Amino acid sequence: MRIDHQLIRRAMADSRASLPVELAVILPLVFALIFAIVDASRLLLARSLADALAVALSEDIKLETPPAVRAGLTVAAIEGELAALVPAFAGTLIDASRVRLTVQSYDDLAALAGGSPNAGAAPGAAGGITAYRLDYTVPLITPFVNYLYNSGDVTGTATVVVKNGP
């Protein structure tokens, strides 16, 4: 079997069809990289906003709510304050329907460290410790993200622990 070197040289020198082939190989990878960068920035923004929202909620309850009202707060009332705070705080950057709030009250730091919340205490009880936990689910737009995460959504968590005033 004889190899025709002239035919191989002519095929290597003909580069008219190489650009579409290179684009077909490289372009999907470039778009996937761009989508991944956008998703990473959306995750960082969501986590940052959730942290700031948790701090704003705890400060609103601790500093703006009168002590008599704060002592009788329920989790439903705090969720109502959160629902009112989300649009004013972040506009349309945070979807309020994707925010889950967990509020736990503790008698002292030992109970907080031991993980034993006081179920009978109001979240704003004087001298108590209140933990606010916000879970925010961010939908991702990267096409292959379902291979990386179970649902295509990533949940960011922000936790703030405050000591209630007298």
Q: For residue 41, what are the domain limits?
A: 16-163
7 domain residue, yes or no: no
User: Tens digit of pLDDT for each residue in 14-65?
Assistant: 666 677 778 888 988 888 888 888 888 888 988 898 899 999 998 888 888 8
Residues 125 and 69: their CA atoms lie apart, in Å, by 10
10 domain residue, yes or no: no
Nearest to 101 by CA among 50, 42, 45, 61: 50
Q: What is the pLDDT of residue 78?
A: 87
Produce one character per residue of 126-147: b if its CB has 16 or more CB atoms within 10 Å, e if not.
eebbbbbebebebebebeebee
User: Tens digit of pLDDT for each residue in 77-90?
Assistant: 888 888 888 888 77
Please state the rounded mean pLDDT for residues 128-155.
78
134 domain residue, yes or no: yes
Q: What is the pLDDT of residue 11?
A: 57
2 domain residue, yes or no: no
DSSP-derived 3-state class of residue 104: strand
Residues 60 and 83: their CA atoms lie apart, in Å, by 13
What total number of domains does the chain contain?
A: 1
115 domain residue, yes or no: yes
1 domain residue, yes or no: no
